[in-house]
């Protein structure tokens, strides 16, 4: 009996300890917050009052806050009063800047997407460009919002971006004039194709009412009931309001379908978004994407891919699957904080990097760590942690260093200005040989220069062989070879140069909308999309998983 009594007592004590442990766990975080806040506040007070040199208490605290947030992710940012006002200006989509969306990838600040028709876009800045410095200020350690703020200024002022571009060894510098930036949701809409029966809508961002704008555009394009398919262009669309993305998905999917979920630590941030309206458009849909397509763009593409409702064509998207909210803070400050991740209908996260929280924005690629494979409604495999991978990969060719040099030196812009001064109109459907030859003559007269990597190596070689007379002919031969290579580059990329110049002239005489319309004839990704829509069997084969 004594043994049984002892056992009961021990069991009772263990139950009490277990109950106390369970009861303590929910409040444990609050104890840790209070404990460490007390330590921090006393440390801060001692340093501010007793350190040998006088320090600014505000700067000291800001450094502490920044250091704390830098262990999280680059999208969690504290705004002081001045930055808060700047953020409000940017959120109005009407400000003086250069028109770029900055993001973080592999610890570097990159251009997520340039605003179509904006100063950066016109100067040749591309999605994926790494911003190393702005007006000499290194971007290492800066948040994307801080980078964005450095590009904003007075209308007409200039800013110099130091760019590292994939495939180029040398640093690229672009001097860009700040202009008033007004970002529209839908920047172009029309019926295209051989029979003018395929709708094309270019969505630049997911701002307020973008869902309604897409509805209006579809209704207008299909007013006669002849539209046989739709191409939704989300290239270089950095995202925006999540609810607007859901409204757009609503137009293509039956009601009652969960198209995106947000999941975080706090229950109130966990939400499911379902389609509400009857299907508005039931014909084939192709979505164009590239590395500048992010966030809400990936929600739309991912949902329609998972539900086998649309074919994704182009290049892999950016891979931003984190959701932020802005919380007001004391003294007119605020905190933008990541509160959840979003998941597509198959259950996958498209976030391409994971933040370790061990150091400043330390991250690892999820392509290697996220090995889960999910299935679409028809059983097609889709990968997690890689952004949105297109069903059909189609990359865009560029002219490389030659194109960069033309933009850097403003050659296309300056020639168009000169051409506009002496020609009352420009009505050609493509650039004529006469105008192209005028442009080549203009380049000669304006001392256009393009420096190849070989030239820098040749300079080093020439310096090392100074005084060696026998080296002269060999050096001259190398110089001739470099000049020949430059001529060959002009021949190789003539069609692309013609395209760039033609679109600039169309823009000068007829505006940005007509420029966009004219650009469609050169768009190889769009051509493939049109071919796809005109081949019902191929779309059906892809979406059914039989391709």
Residue 448, Cβ neighbours under 10 Å: how many? Answer: 13
Give me the sign of the Cα torsion angle 470, 471, 476, 477. positive
Q: At 500, list the tokens.
A: 């760039």
Our answer to whether residue 320 is catalytic in this structure is yes
The DSSP 8-state label assigned to residue 124 in this structure reads T
Question: Are 404 and 168 within 8 A, CB to CB?
Answer: yes
Our answer to whether residue 544 is catalytic in this structure is no
Give me the sign of the Cα torsion angle 253, 257, 262, 268. positive
Distance CA 432, CA 328 (A): 57
Per DSSP bridges, beta strands 322-329 and 333-343 are antiparallel
The catalytic residue among 162, 189, 295, 363 is 295
The catalytic residue among 233, 320, 336, 346 is 320
Distance CA 269, CA 266 (A): 6
Distance CA 394, CA 288 (A): 10
80: Cβ contacts below 8 Å, ≥ 6 apart: 62, 333
Question: Are 353 and 361 within 8 A, CB to CB?
Answer: no
Our answer to whether residue 295 is catalytic in this structure is yes
Sheet of 186-192: strand order equals 186-192, 198-203, 229-233, 285-289, 311-314, 392-393
Q: At 109, list the tokens.
A: 């600040």
Dump the DSSP string for 253-267.
S-TT-EEEEEE-SSG
Q: How far is CA 55 from CA 47, 82, 93, in A?
A: 8, 21, 38
Segment holding 288, helix H or strand E: strand 285-289
The catalytic residue among 306, 308, 391, 523 is 306
Candidates 193, 204, 206; CA nearest to 234 is 204
Q: In a 3-state reduction of DSSP, which class is residue 224?
A: coil
Q: At 291, list the tokens.
A: 């590395």
Which residues does the annotation mark as catalytic?
295, 306, 320
């Amino acid at each position: 009996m004594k043994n049984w009594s002892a056992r009961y007592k021990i069991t009772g004590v263990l139950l009490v300890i277990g109950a106390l442990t369970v009861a303590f766990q929910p409040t444990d975080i609050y104890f840790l917050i209070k404990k460490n806040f007390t330590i921090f506040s006393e440390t801060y007070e001692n340093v501010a009052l007793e350190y040998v040199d006088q320090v600014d208490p505000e700067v000291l605290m800001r450094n502490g806050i920044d250091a704390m947030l830098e262990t999280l992710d680059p999208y969690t940012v504290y705004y002081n009063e001045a930055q808060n006002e700047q953020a409000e200006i940017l959120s109005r989509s009407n400000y003086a800047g250069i028109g770029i969306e900055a993001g973080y990838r592999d610890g570097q600040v990159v251009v997520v997407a340039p605003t179509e028709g904006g100063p950066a876009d016109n100067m040749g800045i591309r999605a994926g460009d790494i911003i190393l410095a702005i007006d000499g200020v290194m971007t290492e350690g800066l948040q994307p919002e801080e980078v964005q703020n450095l590009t904003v200024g007075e209308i007409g002022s200039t800013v110099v971006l130091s760019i590292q571009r994939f495939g180029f060894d040398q640093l690229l510098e672009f001097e860009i004039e700040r202009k008033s930036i007004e970002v529209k949701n839908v920047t172009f809409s029309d019926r295209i194709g051989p029979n003018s029966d395929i709708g094309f809508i270019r969505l630049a961002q997911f701002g307020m009412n973008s869902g309604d704008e897409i509805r209006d555009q579809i209704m207008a394009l299909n007013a006669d009931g002849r539209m046989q398919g739709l191409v939704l262009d989300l290239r270089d669309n950095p995202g925006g309001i999540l609810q607007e993305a859901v409204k757009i998905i609503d137009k293509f999917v039956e009601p009652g379908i969960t198209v995106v979920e947000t999941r975080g630590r706090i229950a109130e941030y966990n939400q499911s978004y379902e389609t509400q309206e009857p299907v508005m458009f039931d014909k084939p849909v192709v979505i164009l994407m590239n590395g500048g397509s992010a966030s809400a763009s990936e929600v739309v593409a991912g949902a329609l891919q998972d539900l086998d409702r649309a074919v994704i064509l182009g290049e892999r998207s950016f891979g931003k699957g984190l959701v932020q909210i802005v919380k007001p803070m004391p003294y007119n400050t605020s905190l933008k904080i990541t509160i959840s991740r979003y998941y597509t209908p198959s259950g996958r996260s498209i976030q391409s990097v994971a933040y370790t929280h061990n150091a400043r924005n330390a991250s690892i690629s999820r392509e290697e760590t996220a090995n889960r494979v999910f299935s679409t409604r028809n059983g097609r495999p889709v990968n997690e942690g890689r952004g949105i991978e297109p069903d059909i990969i189609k990359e865009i060719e560029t002219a490389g260093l030659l194109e960069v040099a033309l933009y850097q030196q403003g050659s296309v812009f300056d020639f168009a200005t000169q051409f506009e001064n002496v020609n009352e109109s420009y009505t050609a459907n493509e650039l004529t040989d006469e105008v192209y030859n005028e442009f080549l003559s203009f380049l000669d007269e304006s001392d256009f220069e393009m420096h190849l990597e070989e030239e820098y190596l040749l300079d080093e070689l020439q310096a090392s062989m100074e005084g060696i007379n026998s080296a002269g002919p060999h050096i001259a031969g190398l110089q001739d070879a470099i000049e020949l290579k430059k001529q060959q580059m002009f021949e190789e990329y003539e069609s692309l140069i013609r395209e760039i110049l033609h679109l600039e002239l169309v823009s000068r005489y007829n505006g940005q909308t007509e420029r966009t319309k004219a650009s469609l004839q050169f768009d190889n990704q769009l051509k493939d999309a049109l071919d796809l829509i005109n081949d019902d069997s191929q779309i059906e084969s892809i979406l059914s998983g039989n391709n």
